[in-house]
Amino acid sequence: MSVIGVDVGGTKIAAGRRGPDLVATEPIVIPTPYGGMAIIEAIAALVAEIAAASPDPVRAVGVGLPATIDAVTGRVAHSVHTGMDDFDAAGALEAAVGLPVFLDNDANLAALAEHRLGAGRHHANVVLLTLGTGIGGGLIIDGEVFRGGRGHGAELGHISVDGNGPPCQGGCPNRGCIETMCSGTALGREFRAFAEANPATALGQLHAEGALDSRSGLALAREGDPDALAIVTTAGEWLGVAVTSLANTFDPDVILIGGGLSDAGELLLGPARDIYLQRALPPTRRAPLEVAALGPDAGMVGAALMAHEGVGG
């Protein structure tokens, strides 16, 4: 028996099958259409295609969405990335797919995957932050995903580190959340603000060419440009402030940084670790702060694992 894991991102949907031994097959990747029903129909088509090619029956489907999902009703209240708004995602999926469907937040699934198969293996308590356009979060407590009372946890990207900081993005009314201090969006904003004020710098030149974003700014930092490096360092330090609070709160065994921005590696993690090791309560400084192991596939792997475990493994 096989299961299918589907990861819905802001720009693409990845779906792959895992056989009885949980060995993965090559995933299919398509662009994410906009809107709840369009996404559900795309998922159903992917599942049908993969199931038709499967050498054994598919038992269940796991789906990760970049959204908070009510565990009781299966509804997505609001998701900027997908255009879902008070949308019965669980019901629509069950109806369209015709197989048992398990649904969760994408970062929760990335945490599940890292715990079962990645950098969180052999650890009972894992904190994961996924850094990309936004910041997602996942918590493993005593070996299980912690989702809170209604499944809306753990939105660690909305931990505020500066109560008077910049307004948060998406549907978040808070200020100074780490999503607005050290996400890819935040880095892009800081690079551009610096470039506009300092047109004679390398960042300024890149901006004048219309080529400045979080990626190209990070590349400059990697080459040692002091201005880009200072901006990345500041973002890393804000990350470290949040990591300090997470360590103090959960006393985790390991703290993992995943998502597309994690390939900045020590440029971000170095300053974050410096702050964490200076500021966390001494007994909670024990957790290593590391890059997650499963890369961009973590959400899809976690979705397949959730389906596998959901039907009794």
Which of 81, 115, 158, 273 lies at the binding interface for Zn ion (CB under 5 A)? Answer: 158
Cα dist. 259→44, 94, 193, 202, 308 in Å?
26, 28, 24, 27, 23
Q: Are 86 and 78 in contact (CB under 8 A)?
A: yes
Query: Helix or strand or coil: residue 230?
Result: helix
Minimum distance, C-beta of residue 47 to Zn ion, in the bound complex (Å): 33
Minimum distance, C-beta of residue 178 to Zn ion, in the bound complex (Å): 8
Q: What is the DSSP letter of 16?
A: E
C-alpha 70/C-alpha 153 separation (Å) is 10
C-alpha 8/C-alpha 33 separation (Å) is 10
User: Which is nearer to Zn ion, 173 or 312 (by Cβ)?
Assistant: 173
User: Which is nearer to Zn ion, 179 or 227 (by Cβ)?
Assistant: 179
User: Which is nearer to Zn ion, 73 or 174 (by Cβ)?
Assistant: 174
Cis peptide before 77 (omega within 30 of 0): no
| Piece of the chain touching Zn ion by CB under 5 A; list 45-53, 166-174, 190-198, 290-298 | 166-174
Number of residues that bind Zn ion (CB under 5 A): 5
| Piece of the chain touching Zn ion by CB under 5 A; list 45-53, 71-79, 128-136, 176-184 | 176-184
Binding mask 200-239 for Zn ion (x = CB under 5 A): ----------------------------------------
C-alpha 187/C-alpha 135 separation (Å) is 12
Nearest CA to 73 among 88, 84, 60?
A: 88
Query: Helix or strand or coil: residue 70?
Result: coil
Q: Taking CB under 5 A as the rule, does residue 168 contact Zn ion?
A: yes
Minimum distance, C-beta of residue 200 to Zn ion, in the bound complex (Å): 35
Helices (H), 124-176: none
| Piece of the chain touching Zn ion by CB under 5 A; list 51-59, 109-117, 171-179, 278-286 | 171-179
User: Which is nearer to Zn ion, 177 or 268 (by Cβ)?
Assistant: 177
By the criterion CB under 5 A, which residues form the site for Zn ion? 158, 168, 172, 174, 177
